[in-house]
Amino acid sequence: MKNQYKILIVEDNEEMRENISEILSISNYNVRTAEDGLKGIQAAREFNPDLIISDIMMPNLDGLGMLNIIQNDENLSHIPLIFLTAKTDKDDFRKGMNLGAEDYLIKPFEANDLLEVIKIKLKKYHKIHQSKSRTIEGVFNEEVLLKNQKIKDTLNSCEKKTYGKGSIIWQTEDFMNNLYFLESGLTKEYIETVAIKDLILKFSKGPRFIGLDRIYQKKHNTILEIVEESKLIAIPKKIFEEIIEMENLVISYHAYIDHTIQELHERLSINSYGNVREKVCYHLIKLFSLFEETPISISREDLASYCGMAKETLIRMLSELKDEKLIQLNPEGIKLINKNKLSAEF
């Protein structure tokens, strides 16, 4: 059989291990086995399987520990993993899935169920591989996505939720199951730095998608918080994966990511090496494009975290810019009076 798929079975129960191996071998899969997580890691590095099937409860290194090592190994992190478990506690299933498992099967299971799950997962990852090797056409951006019929149908069918100020949508290390469409409102995405200080990486103002730059990321590495009452629609990220794969948008998506990273690098370089005036002017211009013609209505604390400085330092600089008639400060927010002069400061 050409292009025979390789499957690694990690299971401490010898009878179960041999039974699964026999089922898969008869089904024309190239099979290797290991009896615990440590040997499973070694086998994965030698065998480079297309898929791993693993028990959760094992001696030496359990399935969750093995998965954690796999995810942090750049040579293995692309390999999907299906967990086997005899437990019926939903929390155990959720823990495995949140750690990045592709799927799970409850023991005992039928051979047909095992083969069907394997078939579906291998087909999915084969499509991803194929899409990366094809000639790519099309454009990936928010405007294109909003015109996509699959996205339209999803936005119409998914539940819309309203979140109040201060609500946390995701936290660092949460598993990334969904992306979000921010229909209205304002959010901030930030990381916690030294001395329990936050650095705000991005503000998002509806309507727009949140998380497009991390479609293939397994876990969040930031915190997303509601700044003002917002309406959000959670969209399964697999929908975006399917659109990218089926519509040949991989190269375009990579270009989108590159542009996003370049913008972040530019902003962080200003934060690192610019003086106070340069930092404040630069970030006011960035926020001007987000808020368009309306006043920039965010707290001084959040603006300081966005600029990477103390609140008191920010307030002094805003007063200087106000005195120079470059901005106006009023209850509605900050209004830019002379955008050109502000832009010339950095």
CATH number at residue 279: 1.10.10.10
Are residue 127 and residue 86 in the same domain, yes or no?
Answer: yes
Residue 31's CATH number: 3.40.50.2300
Q: Please give the tally of structural domains in the chain.
A: 3
Is there a domain that residue 35 lies in? Answer: yes
Task: Enumerate the β-bridge partners of residue 267.
Answer: none
Is there a domain that residue 28 lies in? Answer: yes
Is there a domain that residue 100 lies in? Answer: yes
- Listed in sequence order, the residues at least 6 apart from 341 whose beta carbon sits closer than 8 Å to its beta carbon are 326
- What b/e readout covers 262-280, taking b as 16+ CB neighbours within 10 angstroms? eeeeebeebbeebeeeebb
pLDDT value of residue 91: 57
- Listed in sequence order, the residues at least 6 apart from 91 whose beta carbon sits closer than 8 Å to its beta carbon are none
Are residue 180 and residue 230 in the same domain, yes or no?
Answer: yes
Could you give the CA distance from residue 201 to residue 345 in angstroms, rounded to a whole number? 21
Are residue 164 and residue 196 in the same domain, yes or no?
Answer: yes
What mean pLDDT do residues 65-78 have? 87
Residue 156's CATH number: 2.60.120.10
Is there a domain that residue 257 lies in? Answer: no
Is there a domain that residue 199 lies in? Answer: yes
Average pLDDT of the chain is: 87
Strand 198-205 versus strand 178-192 pairing type = antiparallel
Are residue 73 and residue 186 in the same domain, yes or no?
Answer: no
Tell how far CA 19 is from the center of its chain. 37
pTM of the complete model: 0.59
Are residue 54 and residue 16 in the same domain, yes or no?
Answer: yes
- Listed in sequence order, the residues at least 6 apart from 230 whose beta carbon sits closer than 8 Å to its beta carbon are 162, 163, 182, 183, 184, 185, 186, 187, 206
Domain boundary, last residue among 231, 247, 263? 247
Could you give the CA distance from residue 342 to residue 283 in angstroms, rounded to a whole number? 10
Is there a domain that residue 256 lies in? Answer: no
What mean pLDDT do residues 246-271 have? 86
What mean pLDDT do residues 42-71 have? 91
What mean pLDDT do residues 136-143 have? 72
- What b/e readout covers 98-130, taking b as 16+ CB neighbours within 10 angstroms? ebbbbbbbeeeeeeeebeebbeebbeebeeeee
Tokens of residue 217, six digits: 């990321």
Are residue 105 and residue 185 in the same domain, yes or no?
Answer: no
pLDDT value of residue 268: 85
pLDDT value of residue 183: 95
pLDDT value of residue 133: 46
Q: Categorize the per-residue pLDDT at 136 as very low, low, confident or very high, splitting at 50, 70 and 90.
A: very low
Task: Enumerate the β-bridge partners of residue 230.
Answer: 163
Are residue 23 and residue 79 in the same domain, yes or no?
Answer: yes
Are residue 49 and residue 104 in the same domain, yes or no?
Answer: yes
Dump pLDDT digits (tens) for 167-221.
Answer: 999 999 899 989 999 999 999 999 988 766 789 999 999 899 999 998 988 899 9
Are residue 120 and residue 197 in the same domain, yes or no?
Answer: no
Dump pLDDT digits (tens) for 73-108.
Answer: 888 888 989 988 876 555 555 666 666 677 888 888
Q: Categorize the per-residue pLDDT at 12 as very low, low, confident or very high, splitting at 50, 70 and 90.
A: very high
What mean pLDDT do residues 109-117 have? 90
Are residue 129 and residue 151 in the same domain, yes or no?
Answer: no
Domain boundary, last residue among 77, 110, 133? 133
Ramachandran quadrant class, 5 (left: phi over 0; alpha: psi -120 to 50; beta: rest): beta
Are residue 47 and residue 123 in the same domain, yes or no?
Answer: yes
Q: Which has the closest alpha carbon to 315: 276, 275, 272?
A: 276
Please give the residue range of the domain that contains residue 19. Answer: 6-133
pLDDT value of residue 135: 44
Q: Which has the closest alpha carbon to 149: 255, 246, 250, 252?
A: 246
pLDDT value of residue 127: 59
Are residue 210 and residue 285 in the same domain, yes or no?
Answer: no
DSSP characters for 3-47? Answer: T--EEEEE-S-HHHHHHHHHHHHHTT-EEEEESSHHHHHHHHHHH
DSSP characters for 278-289? Answer: HHHHHHHHHHHH
